[in-house]
Structure 1
Amino acid sequence: MERAAATPSRPEAVVGVDLGVKTLAVYSDGRPPTANPRYLAAASRKLRRLSRAVSRKQGPDRRSGQQPSGRWRKADAARNRVHHRVAALRRDAIHKLTTTLAGECGTLVVEDLHVAGMVRNRRLARAISDAGFGEIRRQLAYKTEWKGGRLVVAGRWFASSKTCSGCGAVKAKLALSERTYTCTACGLIVDRDLNAALNLASLVKQTVAGSGPETPNGRGADRKTPPAGAGGWETSTPHRAPPGSDGDLRPAMDGSLRNTETQ
């Protein structure tokens, strides 16, 4: 589909967007943060009631070939309608958020969140999944391109929350329960999420002033290979040296194998 060339209303604006569970999005340009609607949490009580009603009916059984009863089908349809409504509300809210950001800001900066690893925490998995971090980033990736802006994704190991946005000092540890960032070096006291958003915006300004913007790949993330290239064959190939190569393979910190000739 061909789209007409567009330009954001503020093409020079660089806005850092910090995503979180307590507050869905906090911005570095001072606009009011976007609250987390928590649609799944709001519907959890109704879903529990409908799930209990489904469990009391005669459901399908693959082992015996038993067919579900009419009342089970009716109760299951009522439960599915709630799930579909939650998904539709979440999708609508994310589309409105990403469309507004992409149409207004010339450069948006987000973090490369490891959502698959974050949901392994059983205490936060449901809240993280309900927020839709991955969908927000996916929509920003193509909507910024449609609107004539760009999306910059900070590195996964960039300490946006631990770094002071005033002096640049980095804390060794910062508990998740600490919602206010207090710098021991310069005495700055600022909201934790706002501090992370300011650091994201300043990271892009430093990149633009330095060696230039990151190169986005197919899914909107920044290129993680060094400027000189990957140097040889990638780590996803079979774990043995190619024929005629004397390269030594050693286990990396993440459990994969890397070629020491290229390091």
Structure 2
Amino acid sequence: MIGSYGLSGDLLTAVRWTLPALRLAWNAAKRDVAPWWDACSKEAFSAGLDQLARGLKNVTDSRKGKRKGRRVGFPRFKKRGKARDSFRYTTGAYGPAGDRRVKLPRIGRVKVHEPMGALTGRLAEGRARLFGATVSRTAGRWFVSFTVDVERDAPAGPSRRQRAAGPVGVDLGVKHRAVLSTGETVANPKHLAGSLRRLRKASRAYARSKPDSAGRRQRAARLARIHARVAHQRRDGLHTLTTRLAKRHDVVVVEDLHVAGMVRNRRLARAVADTAMAEIRRQLSYKTIWYGSRLEVADRWYPSSKTCSGCGWRNPSLTLSDRTFTCQSCGLVVDRDLNAAVNLRTLVAGSASETENARGGDRKTALARQVPGKREPGTARAGQTGSAVPPRTAARQRLTHAS
């Protein structure tokens, strides 16, 4: 029997790693280990036991090979103040209680900053249903978020405004947050880089403070506020960009970037993490459904930066330091990122040229290995092996094409 162990009197008893068993063991021992539990809502303990049961199940599934990904370790104790402080309600009287108030069990009515009229109206009309509420604390501020099942009318097709805009290719990068195939450049505000000076100063003050002192708690709160401000600024900019793309264009094309491999470059890790490329793709995945547009993801091996957007000539020797693409076939000189964005838009339009002289990796890249160069579309997708032509034939074709 797989289980954890709990104290029951003077005996060490085994407890199965299931929610009913954990809840039964907690009810038997709560009077002894937590005499103050009556002053709190039972939902806080119930949600904690549910999270523990899920974590233990992940450990079991990982050991048996039922769970994909990396091996899951045993859940660790998270001390108050050292992790994300939160608790969850799933039953009881909770929910919006007016325009700017929410009702929480054992706490009562609490005033909130944002208006609750939209959610209150959907609940009153029966077009939404509450599934839970999570109360959390970040940088000294308390937040409440509701899990809601909402009836949302998906558009049958793109609007007239979206049809007029047409498809758009989006090339994400570090120098610019995004370069669109329309020629528009979205600047990268670099919120983290702009706050590094304050972060260094606050971090040094925190490190020099006395442990378990009031001054250390104050310096920790100041450091957390700086980090939270950077995160909020970044989130606001990402939502503004993704909402505009999903509303104005009927098709949005992005690349399948290997962000986990990009952050392994110690010279670019901080800048890549600050751009939040994966978050842009995640937001576009559901916002395009909301607004009736479509998201297309180009293959990871598609050489968008190394292909001429005018004639299709490829420069396999193009490096990251080359910021301008110069075509040796048609003489086109264009910005590297703009060239990649135009190629992405052309790819979804179906007019991208494909050749057999493919370059780059022919299989999915392992997490701990170097990412190979991009390959042409149609040769082999990530997770598949093989090449379109034998290596010698491909090399001969490349030489012939270059001459």
The reply on whether 1:169 has 2:320 as its aligned counterpart is no
TM-score by length of 2: 0.49
Partner residue in 2 for 1:15: 168
Partner residue in 1 for 2:190: 38
Match for 2:190: what amino acid? R
In the aligned structure 1, how far is the partner of 2:351 from the partner of 2:206?
A: 55
Can you list the C-alpha shifts for 1:180-203, whole angstroms capped at 9, x where unaligned?
Answer: 110111110001000000000000
In the aligned structure 2, how far is the partner of 1:91 from the partner of 1:10?
A: 24
The reply on whether 1:50 has 2:202 as its aligned counterpart is yes
Partner residue in 2 for 1:153: 297
Match for 1:11: what amino acid? R
Tell me, what secondary structure is at the counterpart of 1:10? helix
Kept after mapping to 2: 8 A contact 1:11/1:149: no
The reply on whether 1:71 has 2:215 as its aligned counterpart is yes
* Superposition deviation, residue 175 in structure 1: 1.4
Kept after mapping to 2: 8 A contact 1:11/1:107: no
Can you list the C-alpha shifts for 1:140-199, whole angstroms capped at 9, x where unaligned?
Answer: 010001100100000000000000001101111111111111011111000100000000
In the aligned structure 1, how far is the partner of 2:230 from the partner of 2:285?
A: 24
Tell me, what secondary structure is at the counterpart of 1:40? helix
Tell me, what secondary structure is at the counterpart of 1:130? helix
Q: Which runs of 5+ in 2 are unaligned?
A: 1-149, 353-377, 387-403
Tell me, what secondary structure is at the counterpart of 2:153? coil
Match for 1:203: what amino acid? L
The reply on whether 1:117 has 2:270 as its aligned counterpart is no
**Map of 1:78-89 to 2, 5 A cutoff?**
78-89=222-233
Match for 2:233: what amino acid? L
In the aligned structure 2, how far is the partner of 1:73 from the partner of 1:173?
A: 53
* Superposition deviation, residue 4 in structure 1: 2.6
In the aligned structure 1, how far is the partner of 2:221 from the partner of 2:206?
A: 10
The reply on whether 1:193 has 2:304 as its aligned counterpart is no
Match for 1:49: what amino acid? K
In the aligned structure 2, how far is the partner of 1:157 from the partner of 1:42?
A: 34
Match for 2:152: what amino acid? R
In the aligned structure 1, how far is the partner of 2:163 from the partner of 2:228?
A: 37
* Superposition deviation, residue 48 in structure 1: 0.2
* Superposition deviation, residue 11 in structure 1: 2.6
Tell me, what secondary structure is at the counterpart of 1:170? coil
Partner residue in 2 for 1:104: 248
Can you list the C-alpha shifts for 1:10-31, whole angstroms capped at 9, x where unaligned?
Answer: 236010000000011111123x
Match for 2:224: what amino acid? N
Count residues with an aligned counterpart.
204
Query: Which is higher, the Rg of structure 1 or of structure 2?
Result: 2
* Superposition deviation, residue 117 in structure 1: 0.3
* Superposition deviation, residue 36 in structure 1: 0.2
Q: Which runs of 5+ in 1 are unaligned?
A: 60-67, 209-225, 227-233, 236-251, 254-263
Kept after mapping to 2: 8 A contact 1:181/1:195: yes
Partner residue in 1 for 2:180: 27
Percent of pairs with identical residues: 55
Kept after mapping to 2: 8 A contact 1:181/1:191: yes
Match for 1:16: what amino acid? G
* Superposition deviation, residue 5 in structure 1: 3.4
The reply on whether 1:3 has 2:152 as its aligned counterpart is yes
* Superposition deviation, residue 3 in structure 1: 1.6
In the aligned structure 2, how far is the partner of 1:172 from the partner of 1:115?
A: 22
In the aligned structure 2, how far is the partner of 1:43 from the partner of 1:80?
A: 12
Following superposition, which runs of at least 4 residues in structure 1 exceed 6 angstroms of deviation?
none
Find 1:144's aligned residue among 274, 288, 293: 288
Partner residue in 2 for 1:130: 274
Tell me, what secondary structure is at the counterpart of 1:79? helix
In the aligned structure 2, how far is the partner of 1:58 from the partner of 1:116?
A: 37
Find 2:239's aligned residue among 95, 105, 120: 95
Match for 1:23: what amino acid? H
Can you list the C-alpha shifts for 1:83-132, whole angstroms capped at 9, x where unaligned?
Answer: 00000000010001100110110000000000000000000000000001
Tell me, what secondary structure is at the counterpart of 1:34? strand
Kept after mapping to 2: 8 A contact 1:23/1:34: yes
TM-score by length of 1: 0.74
* Superposition deviation, residue 207 in structure 1: 7.3
**Map of 1:226-245 to 2, 5 A cutoff?**
none
What RMSD in Å do the two structures reach over aligned CA positions? Answer: 1.9
In the aligned structure 1, how far is the partner of 2:196 from the partner of 2:265?
A: 19
Structure with higher RCO (Cα < 8 A, 6+ apart): 1
Partner residue in 2 for 1:202: 346
